[in-house]
Structure 1
Amino acid sequence: MSGSQPLLLGVRHHGPGSARAVRAALDAAVPEAVLIEGPPEADALVPLAADQGMRPPVALLAHAVDEPGRSAFWPLAEFSPEWVAIRWALEHDVPARFIDLPATHTLAWRKAEEEAEAEVEEENPSGPSAEHTLRLDPLAVLAETAGYDDPERWWEDVVEHRGAGAPGDGTRDREAALAPFAALEEAMGALRETYGAGGHDRDLVREAHMRLQLRSAQREFGDSVAVVCGAWHVPALRRKSAVTADRALLKGLPKVKADMTWVPWTHRRLSRASGYGAGIDSPGWYGHLFGAPDRPVERWLTKVAGLLREEDRIVSSAHVIEAVRLAGTLAAMRGRPLPGLTETTDAVRAVMCDGSDVPLALVHDRLVVGDVLGEVPDTAPAVPLQRDLTLLQRRLRLKPEALERELELDLRKENDAERSRLLHRLRLLGIGWGEPARSRGSTGTFRETWRLRWEPELSVRVAEAGVWGTTVAAAATARAEADARAARALADVTALAEHCLLAGLRDALPVVMRVLADRAALDADVGHLAQALPALVRSLRYGDVRGTDTTALAEVAAGLAERVFVGLPPACTALDADAAEQMRGHVDAVHGAVGLLAESSAASHGDLRARWRSVLRSLSGRDTVPGVIRGRAVRLLLDEGEVGQDEAARLMGLVLSPGTPPQDAAAWIEGFVGGGGGMLLVHDERLLGLVDAWLTGVPADAFTDVLPLLRRTFAAYEPGVRRTLGELVRRGPGVRGGASAGRTAGIPGFAPEPDTERAEAVLPLVRLLLGLDTDDKDLAGVGT
């Protein structure tokens, strides 16, 4: 590599050893210009790398202007050779330019390739052909040639653990600084001679563009030019090629209009192949190797010990010393120049984790990979929606973080209510920063729990959502209106109305409600109406908490309920087993919705609950209605107090009579005591006795048909309930509910009738919990 030629520095993307070597080579050669593998559209963004607000890992994001979801990333970490080259150029006031194929072609090319792959999959559903998927991995070939079965271990031994001087070490002469690149170029040259493009046909076009850019830089700066690119490309850039031939390869490439900016990235996402086409499995480890000034193994194991101590594991200094010794011994036994990640991991498992992989998984997740999230300055280009989102995040004190965290919100507080609206609006826009979670505390409607985790890909979703508006509120409103008009199912529109209330989109609600009313008027499917009603009623509760006017919503919900009441009985006839089970779910959902709707102050349509009870009575008495629905109707009427215990026992006795086919009887039982019906059988000995007597009388030839239904019914009970039922059945009939002389004498809760004295004892405490007016007499004895 003579001084009369441009300086070609072949690197491994995201390699700390390559990054140190690039710094040393640039210090030794001091070129007048630095050319870097990357999209040329990013040249204007290079100065931002010197901004105080820029903290890697970051990525160059390119996306199509007309189709923001079509995007590509070029990630850069602190230990990426390209980032080191950019920073060196800025520190030495040297021009830094990107020379790879422009993103305008890359994005268009990817779209064409995706369409071609879709056609191939359609023609060959079994999968792509072998020649289509074969791609050469240069590091794997070199590692195998050297006798290694792991490319990562080979790279660590050859590059990361040899000649690892501190970054910026200027004591080495030019030849020593350039020697690693000469050796790597020679190896890659041999591979290119043997394998050609190695299945990477697009590389030929990219390399043609790089050669043209290199020639242009040489005309401007002479041969005092340094090129930092993947080592695989160096032989192609060194090779002499006619300008006309290179331009011919670039002729006719597809194009799209593209925008580019800097976005935050994470260590975890560095493991993905994107942009440069390279990914690493241990970014946290590589970052440590690059940043450690000396004794990398000792410093690493000290980090591991600190993490394990934070998790309350007993790890002392002696453990660290022993782990360092063991890692060194393992490296010597394996013929490695220094302990690598494999040796340190084995040492941590044996010495600090007592041979367990459970704490080792934590070390891998937190340290080997890590959740470092980069930052970009406010001056970086961004779509207006991103700027509005950034301002909202700051005002609401919701900082994006790579590590998943849980957020508890109290909607009675204004700041928490605004946070909730922001997160719901982002979900409606397809920006999944937060996901609702089940609260471990209160289940009231004034509380929400979210799991937050910011992923770099969300920057693409923000850019994509920018077509809907310049602010989060405006974009969410426009998206909701468009989704409402495009929705095909009634349940989709009701779910959208619920989302609008949660997100506080007052301007979108009129459009959504108009579409909802139109769809509800045209939809005659009772199943669709029953699916839509619960979401509407839930929306009424959310509106109460958030102070939203839900009058129009209540009108539509009451209208839907009336239509369900009319259409449900005929819709429940002539159903097979699967359809009957689905309809039972609809009945349960409507029952809960009617209860909430009837309690709503906005509902002024008479006694909805009374009309619903009449529907249940109709369902319970029709022989053409499947048993599972009839049984469920009787159970709901029993819970509502419309059917007494005696009447419920009489109806069950009729169904379980010998004239009823066993399968129909089992289905009725499943509907009546399925779900939470276990306690009903525990406390009502007559019902349990009826089931017990019927089951023992089922003929042997029908028992195998009945058993799956019964197993499904009783398997849903809590273990304690099943155990109690088994004990009651074991005692036998005529013993459980007798007089005080029976076996159950002294066992509270088991009697022919409810124990009103015991039930009334809890009333004062219930009134106190509900905040109802009480007097000292009512509270006498509470808490004693």
Structure 2
Amino acid sequence: MTGPGPLLLGVRHHGPGSARAVRAALEAASPPAVLIEGPPEGDALLALAADEQMRPPVALLAHAVDDPGRAAFWPLAEFSPEWVAIRWALDRGVPVRFIDLPAAHSLALAAEEEARGADQAPPEPDEAAEPDEAAGCEAASEAPGADAGSGVDEASGAGAVQPDPVPARPEPADEPAPTPGGEPSGVRIDPIAVLAEAAGYDDPERWWEDVIEHRGSADGAAPRHSSTSNATVSGSRPAPESASGVGVPAAPGYASAAESMARPGSAVASAPRSHGADPRAPFAALGEAMAVLREMYGHGGHERDLAREAHMRIQLRAARKEFGDGVAVVCGAWHVPALAAKTTLAADKALLKGLPKVKTEMTWVPWTHRRLARHSGYGAGIDSPGWYGHLFSAPDRPVERWMTKVAGLLRAEDRMVSSAHVIEAVRLADTLAAMRGRPLAGLVETTDAIRAVMCDGSDVPLDLIRDRLIVGDVLGEVPDAAPAVPLQRDLSRLQRSLRLKPEALERELDLDLRKESDAGKSRLLHRLRLLAIGWGEPVTGRGSTGTFRESWRLRWEPELFVRVAEAGVWGTTVLSAATAKAENRAVSAIALADVTALAEQCLLAELPDALPVVMTALADRAALDADVGHLAQALPALARSLRYGDVRSTDTAALGEVAAGLAERICVGLPPACTGLDADGAAEMRGHLDGVHTAIGLLPKARELGERWGFVLHRLAARDTVPGVIRGRAARLLLDDGRLAEDEAARLMGLALSPGTPPAEAAAWIEGFVGGASGGGMLLVHDERLLTLVDAWLNGVPADAFTDVLPLLRRTFSAYESGVRRTLGELVRRGPAAASGPVHASPTMPGFGPGLDGPRADAVLPVLQLLLGSDDNDLAGVAR
């Protein structure tokens, strides 16, 4: 608004056009002070915005001191009007302040609402849990943009949602609509949608772009296709009936306010087209339209706005008393009428009386374009921040420059894109804009042109363009002088010393733990995982599978700063915090598996001070837990932990003693525990059997324990009361370890597949013996006796029982590789082996001899000698 009193600049948050308009208005007015919608706790941090290290996007982070997990963000991008106003004021030495409701109240109000379980309560604009409210401001429509010289000042985009704290769309049409002049009946008003509907548009975004953003440049040049556009927006199309879901009352003042903004000659549509136009006039026109809407809809369903606006009026009064009436206020356009209203100080204070309050801390944190683009969590609800940033930073010809960027990206991905493609794409985008009655080509037109010209009609390259350019992987930076919890400072120091820079783009990191630098990175990442700071996640590496290799997938997200603040209660450094949390978890853990997993984490993170506490808790839980399933579930983690002593030089002697004790108790209790199990219990116990078998081979007393474990497996394989899947698996483990002769394995299979065995039990034995990824397929390929037994049993299964065992058999054999299944099929088609004579006397498939072929085995010796550089004597007998 212009005229006597403060300069009220109603904006659309994160809009390039609004940002340019604010800059132009501030240049023209030169206010003595600038007031911005935002938390007053951030006033002390505003000076950092001028620091050379500050690179948007950034965000103000406020969190409760007693509950760091309760936090709120106020994101600011380079193209945010608030950021432009802050930098303008700091560059000119003009005082700048935040005037919104303090974060201390916002966080407390959000906590109360959560405690009440008010799912339908109006969300707090400053609460980080609401994507559109993360901007820290709440305006459903913003001021027009004013391009200082580019000819384009748009925030256009296909389906671009409104990046505002309030909902970007009205409620569905079946919801009760508010009545003029009264309180809304549970419906939140989207002012842009209401104004667009009055102007005859069914798409609020398209109306805003055509009428507000797509205007001419400040040099007086009319926009391209202006004649077509003006004919479209001048009211020639009829207004649809409740197109956006909110009924439009036939109120003369309301209609005229909306239509006046849509007319080509209106202040909003034509203000920037000549050198003499007042850059503050569009704000006045938009403020007038908002005043009509506020008069009709009240607070529009945003009840908490009343307290926020009361606080802003109080701060505005104080600023006018200190600096005079010429102060400028940058806020959401929805708030402009409330700030211009005549109220008393006592009435405003009454609205703030009794508000809850919590102690808060605030700082600057880096933000990302991806977070700006998200519509959940801490996002700001912008579909195309990369496109917005391009429009704001492009000095001229933004469409041409955008097409050049796209061409460069596609060329980097080895796609054939020439200068002719760029030229034709620009021409097509302009033509589409003209055909659609738009003043300028927006993101939807440029995307359609890129798809047709550069991508040959395919959407696959467009996914890359959306990811890299339209959204982007920009990660902001904040200066080192920004306040931070001690844990955050220690983490930043470690990141610098280890050269492990946080990045918004997901990447994989391969570590060789034999190198000290890589070992340090591994320790840091494991300690952060223990503190629930999920910067990195372990993944399966593509290289060596040795214990000295680790692979991580890294991606830094802004909310991790909240996790760091939460973890700050455990200590001031990453090491002390991880140690304290590990000790606390060890003392409070109930399940044995939880303690063993914690012990593994402590060894990975190298927390020597926490290990004694964890080991004591582990010994106590192991002594008290008599469940064999729990013991079997805990042993593999301990066995894995014992391997880390080789590479990490960690003392695991105490851990080895506990693991050996667990193995002894499992050997005693496992046979009785495997009796009388149902199908689900047997499948679970089979998994425990595999885990224990692998773990015992890794323990320090592997030879001694292995002998006892072999005896246990023999008992399980021979006991009829044990489920077939466990008996079969025990037999297979013995056979693989060389503790069971092939003839004995064939005898056990023959017993299990005898006619007296129920088909379902026999099928379960087969699954345990040759099922899944255990290599059973190759076993059947190379041992025709076993294949003959299986084939003969299968042929003898009665027809009425075959349908019952078919799912189990299908699950067993479908896990084999296709080549193994094909070979088995060929062997079965050839027929069973000869019934008489030695087992290897029968003909075999090509490539599978009846026994060891000495000459063929010796033929590999020259190759081995060449590879290993050894003498013939050294390789004597190797091939055999």
TM-score range, shorter chain: over 0.9
Give the CA deviation at 1:489. 1.2
Match of 2:43 in 1: 43
Structure 1 residues 369 and 737, CA, compared in 2 at 3 Å: closer, same or farther? farther
Q: How does 1:367-406 map to 2 (within 5 A)?
A: 367-406=469-508
Tell me if 1:682 matches 2:786: no
Task: Give the partner amino acid of 1:162.
Answer: R
Check the 8 A contact 1:13/1:276 in 2, yes or no. no
Residue 829 of structure 2 is matched in structure 1 by 730
Question: Which one of the candidate residues 873, 876, 880 is aligned to 1:777?
Answer: 873
Q: Structure 1's 114 and 759: CA in aligned 2 closer, same or farther, altered over 3 A?
A: farther
2:667 is the alignment partner of 1:614: no
The offset of 1:225, in angstroms, is 0.7
State how far apart, in whole Å, the 2-side matches of 1:468 and 1:620 are: 50
Q: Relative to structure 1, is the Cα distance of residues 170 and 781 closer, same or farther in structure 2, using a 3 angstrom cutoff?
A: farther
1:194 deviates by 2.6
2:873 is aligned with what amino acid?
A: K
- Give 1:781 shift: 13
Instruction: Please tell me the residue identity of whatever aligns with 1:662.
Output: P
- Looking at structure 2, the residues matched to 431 and 241 of structure 1 have their Cα atoms a distance apart, in angstroms, of 48
Identity %: 76
Distance 2:460 2:853 in 1: 51
Residue 516 of structure 1 is matched in structure 2 by 618
Over 3 Å counting, the alpha-carbon distance change for 1:261 and 1:176 in structure 2 is same
Partner of 1:124: none
Q: Deviations over 1:104-150 (max 9, x none)?
A: 011111111222236889xxxxxxx9789843222233333333343
C-alpha distance in 1 between matches for 2:22 and 2:769: 75
- Per-residue deviation at 1:165? 4.5
Instruction: Give the whole-Å Cα distance in 1 for the aligned partners of 2:301 and 2:65.
Output: 31
**Quick check: 1:72–1:274 contact (8 Å CA) kept in 2?**
no
Q: Give aligned pairs, total.
A: 766
Deviations 1:343-386 (A, max 9, x none): 00000111111111111000001000001000000000001111
Moved more, 179-188 or 258-267: 179-188
- Cα deviation, 1:607-633, whole Å, max 9, x if unaligned, reads 000000011011111111100000000
Conserved 8 A contact 1:25-1:174:
no
What is the SS of the residue equivalent to 2:363? strand
Aligned equivalents of 2:104 and 2:836: distance in 1?
Answer: 82
Structure 2 match to 1:629:
726
User: Going by fraction, where is helix more abundant, 1 or 2?
Assistant: 1
State TM-score, norm by structure 2. Answer: 0.83
Match of 1:286 in 2: 388
2:189 maps to which of 113, 136, 155: 136
1:496 pairs with 2:598: yes
Distance change >3 Å, CA 21–CA 726, structure 1 → 2: same
Residue in structure 2 matched with residue 194 of structure 1 by the alignment:
296
* 2:865–2:871 Cα contact (<8 Å) kept: no
**Cα separation, partners in 2 of 1:633 and 1:159, compared to 1, 3 Å:** same
Q: Please give the secondary structure, in 2, of the residue aligned with 1:143.
A: helix
Q: Which whole-Å CA distance do the structure 1 matches of 2:595 and 2:844 have between them? A: 57
The one-letter code sitting in structure 2 at the alignment partner of 1:652 is M
Question: Does structure 1 conserve the Cα–Cα contact (< 8 Å) formed by 2:217 and 2:272?
Answer: no
Of 632, 641, 651, the match for 1:549: 651
Unaligned runs of 5+ in 2: 122-173, 177-184, 220-270
Is 1:588 aligned to residue 687 of structure 2? no
Deviations 1:66-104 (A, max 9, x none): 111110000000100000000011111111000000000
Contact 1:74 1:274 in 2 (8 A): no
Cα offset, 1:485, TM superposition: 1.4
Separation in 2 of the partners of 1:765 and 1:427? Answer: 47
Q: Is the 8 A contact 2:371 2:380 kept in 1?
A: no
CA offsets 1:40-61 (integer angstroms, 9 cap, x no match): 0000101001101101000000
Closer/same/farther in 2, CA of residues 414 and 37 from structure 1, 3 Å limit: same
| Structure 1: distance between partners of 2:208 and 2:119 | 38
Q: Tell me whether 1:362 sits opposite 2:461 in the alignment.
A: no
Question: Cα–Cα, structure 1 residues 276 and 157, in superposed 2: closer, same or farther, change >3 Å?
Answer: farther
The residue number in structure 2 matching 1:73 is 73
Q: Where do 1:227-246 residues align within 5 Å?
A: 227-246=329-348
- Please state whether the residue corresponding to 2:35 is helix, strand or coil: strand
Instruction: Tell me how far apart the structure 2 counterparts of residues 388 and 319 of structure 1 sit (CA, whole Å).
Output: 50
Q: Which residue in the other structure is 1:147 paired with?
A: 200
Shift in CA distance, 760/619, structure 1 to aligned 2, threshold 3 Å: farther
Q: Distance in 2 between matches of 1:536 and 1:365?
A: 42
Specify whether residues 762 and 552 from structure 1 end up closer, same or farther in structure 2 by C-alpha distance, changes over 3 A only: farther
Q: Is the partner of 2:278 in helix, strand or coil?
A: helix
Which residue type is aligned with residue 668 of structure 1? W
Q: Cα offset for 1:216?
A: 1.0
CA distance in 1, matches of 2:542, 2:836: 39
Gaps of 5+ in 1: 122-128
Q: Is residue 107 from structure 1 mapped to residue 83 from structure 2 by the alignment?
A: no
One-letter identity of the residue aligned with 1:610: E
Q: Which amino acid aligns with 2:763?
A: A
The whole-number CA distance in structure 2 between the counterparts of 1:777 and 1:332 is 85
Q: Report what 2:159 is aligned to.
A: none
CA distance in structure 2 between the partners assigned to 1:42 and 1:466 by the alignment: 21
Matches within 5 A, 1:95-494: 95-117=95-117, 134-165=187-218, 176-272=278-374, 278-494=380-596
Q: Deviations over 1:265-289 (max 9, x none)?
A: 0111112469999521100000000
Query: 2:79 aligned with 1:59, yes or no?
Result: no
Q: TM-score, normalised by structure 1?
A: 0.93
Residues 764 and 778 in structure 1, CA contact (< 8 A), matched pair in contact too: no
1:716 aligns with 2:818: no
1:446-492: per-residue Cα shift (whole Å, max 9, x none)?
01111111111111111111111111111111111111112221111
Given the superposition, is the C-alpha separation of residues 657 and 133 from structure 1 closer, same or farther in structure 2, using an over 3 Å criterion? farther
